[in-house]
Amino acid sequence: MVGILDPTGIGIDDGGFVTLTSVYDMVKTTESNETKRLLDVKPGEISALMVNVKPEYSRGDVATAIETQVSGVAVVTSKELMSSSVARQLEGLRPYMLLIGGGFWIIAILMIGALFSMVVNERRRELGLLQAMGATRAYIFRLVMLEAIQLTAIGGLCGMALGAAVIYVLKGTIEASLGIAYLWPSAGFIAVFSLGLLAMAVGTGILAALYPAIVASRLEPYQAIRTGE
């Protein structure tokens, strides 16, 4: 054995690949006539051909067409990666999921914004003192924004890690309940997707903290120090 292929979610996941030389050696050494018959593939012959059907074609139609047009072959169709009914249901749910996701996103912006407004309010005295020591309005603005970026980046990373852990743990349940094969995406896809999610989390933080940061940068130092006491 030279390696293990990534699972595909179809029947060949339980199969093995051997060279023809190995097959001939197996034929020579086996004592079973039935095995000899099954394994007896002459040089130049093929025993199976895998056909990858494009999503827009029906695999059943393709199988029927092959069986009627090519004599002496038996067509075996693989298990569905995702049943068409599940796919249809998920496709139908997509707009609602996007709507719910968008709603949660807006709520997240408002909640993070409210949180940062509270933080700015709690730290009025400190922000006023910084201005008294020579901090510019731009510095105060950057300070609040940088904190927002840091916090949302950490929150985003924690969320992704938690999400990945939940999917990992519930992988079997998802497969069983939806009747689909669950495949992990490639490392490259996961990296790009994670960076996208991180950027979205940070972008959410930036949007949410924008107003509190502007308010913080416009505080009058004297009032900020007095009211923060």
Partner 1 sequence: MIELKNITKTYSSGGGVINAVDNLSLKVSDGEFIAVVGHSGSGKTTMVSLMGGLTRPTTGNVLVGGVDIWTLDNKQLALLRSEKIGFCFQFSSLIPTLTCLDNVRLPASFAGGQKGGVDNAMSLLETVGVPDKAHAYPSELSGGQQRRVAIARALINEPGIILADEPTGDLDEYTEADIMNLFEQIHARGVTIVMVTHSRNLAARALRTLVMENGTLTEPSRTSS
In the complex, least distance from residue 135 CB atom to partner 1, rounded to whole angstroms: 6
Q: Is 126 in the site for partner 1 (CB under 8 A)?
A: yes
Instruction: Please give the residues from 64 up to 83 whose contact with partner 1 meets the rule CB under 8 A.
Output: none
Interface stretch with partner 1, choices 2-10, 61-69, 130-138, 144-152 (CB under 8 A): 130-138
DSSP 184: P
DSSP 6: P
Contact 57, 48 (CB under 8 A): no
Q: Is 129 in the site for partner 1 (CB under 8 A)?
A: yes
- Residue ranges of alpha helices (H) inside 123-136 are 124-132
Number of residues near partner 1 (by CB under 8 A)? 20
Angle made by CA atoms 76, 80, 82, in degrees to the nearest 5: 175
Tell me which residue of 136, 139, 88, 110 sits closest to 205, measured CA to CA. 110
Q: In this chain, which of 124, 131, 212, 215 binds partner 1, going by CB under 8 A? A: 131
Contact 185, 164 (CB under 8 A): no
In the complex, least distance from residue 113 CB atom to partner 1, rounded to whole angstroms: 23
Interface stretch with partner 1, choices 45-53, 92-100, 121-129, 208-216 (CB under 8 A): 121-129
Instruction: Please give the residues from 135 up to 174 whose contact with partner 1 meets the rule CB under 8 A.
Output: 135-139
How many Cβ atoms sit within 10 Å of the Cβ of residue 152?
A: 24
Instruction: Please give the residues from 209 up to 228 whose contact with partner 1 meets the rule CB under 8 A.
Output: 220-223, 225-226
Helix (H) or strand (E) holding 149: helix 137-178
Q: Which CB atom, from 1 or from 133, has the smaller least distance to partner 1?
A: 133
User: What residues line the site for partner 1 (CB under 8 A)?
Assistant: 126, 128-139, 220-223, 225-226, 229
